[in-house]
Structure 1
Amino acid sequence: MTTLDADRAGYRRDLRRWRNRSRRVKLARVVLPVAMVGLLATVGGQVAWRSFTAGDRRPAESRAQIRMVTPRFYGQSSDGRPFIITARSAVRDENDLKRVFLDAPTLTLGVGSPAPTRSTADRGVYREDTLKLQLYGNVRMDDGAGYRFASDEALVDTRNGNTTGETELQGEGPTGQVQSNAYSVYDKGDRIIFRGGVKTRIDRKTGETVPQDGAAPE
Structure 2
Amino acid sequence: MPAGSGSGPRVDVRDRGVPGVDDVAYPDDTVRGPRQRSVGSSTDASRARARAAAVGHSRRVRLLRIALPVIAVVILLVFGGITLVRSLVPGLDISALSLSSEGIVMEHPRLSGHGPDRSYEITADQAIQSLTDPNRIDLVKISAVITMRDGKVVNVSADKGIFDNGKEILKLRDNIRFKSTAGEDGVMSSADIDLKSGDMTTETPLQIKSQTFSIKAGGGESAKNGDSLMFRGGVHVTIDGKAESKPSASKPSDMAPGAAVSPSEPAPGTVPATSPAVAPSPGAPSTESRP
Shorter-chain TM-score above 0.5: yes
Query: What corresponds to 2:11 in structure 1?
Result: 13
CA distance in 1, matches of 2:10, 2:161: 95
Aligned residues: percent identity?
27
Query: What corresponds to 1:35 in structure 2?
Result: none
Query: What corresponds to 2:269 in structure 1?
Result: none
1:151–1:18 Cα change, 3 Å: same
1:129 lines up with 2:166 in the alignment:
yes
Shift in Å at residue 74 of structure 1? 1.3
1:194 aligned partner, one-letter code: F
2:210 aligned partner, one-letter code: G
Taking structure 2 as the reference length, what is the TM-score of the superposition?
0.48
Query: What corresponds to 1:8 in structure 2?
Result: none
Query: What corresponds to 2:223 in structure 1?
Result: 186
Query: What corresponds to 1:83 in structure 2?
Result: 120
1:111–1:18 Cα change, 3 Å: farther
1:19–1:186 Cα change, 3 Å: same
CA distance in 2, matches of 1:111, 1:188: 7
CA distance in 2, matches of 1:87, 1:135: 12
2:140 aligned partner, one-letter code: D
Shift in Å at residue 12 of structure 1? 4.3
Taking structure 1 as the reference length, what is the TM-score of the superposition?
0.63
Structure 1: segments with no counterpart, 5+ residues? 1-10, 22-58, 208-218
- Which protein has the larger Cα radius of gyration, Structure 1 or Structure 2? 2
Write the mapping of 1:1-218 to structure 2, written as runs, cut at 5 A: 12-13=10-11, 17-18=27-28, 64-65=99-100, 66-77=104-115, 79-110=116-147, 114-198=151-235
The number of equivalent residue pairs is: 166
CA distance in 1, matches of 2:170, 2:189: 14
Shift in Å at residue 143 of structure 1? 2.5
Shift in Å at residue 120 of structure 1? 0.9
Shift in Å at residue 81 of structure 1? 1.4
CA distance in 2, matches of 1:162, 1:71: 24
Secondary structure, counterpart of 2:225 in structure 1? helix
Indicate the RMSD between aligned Cα atoms, in angstroms.
4.0
Secondary structure, counterpart of 1:129 in structure 2? coil
Shift in Å at residue 199 of structure 1? 8.1
1:104 aligned partner, one-letter code: K
Shift in Å at residue 88 of structure 1? 1.7
CA distance in 2, matches of 1:20, 1:69: 74
Deviations 1:4-53 (A, max 9, x none): xxxxxxx64279513667xxxxxxxxxxxxxxxxxxxxxxxxxxxxxxxx
Secondary structure, counterpart of 1:155 in structure 2? strand
Structure 2: segments with no counterpart, 5+ residues? 1-8, 13-24, 32-69, 78-98, 245-291
Q: Displaced runs of 4+ in structure 1, greater than 6 A?
A: none
Shift in Å at residue 115 of structure 1? 2.1
CA distance in 1, matches of 2:176, 2:26: 97
State whether residues 104 and 120 of structure 1, in contact with CA within 8 Å, keep that contact through their aligned partners in structure 2: yes
Secondary structure, counterpart of 2:27 in structure 1? helix
1:102 aligned partner, one-letter code: L
Shift in Å at residue 102 of structure 1? 1.0
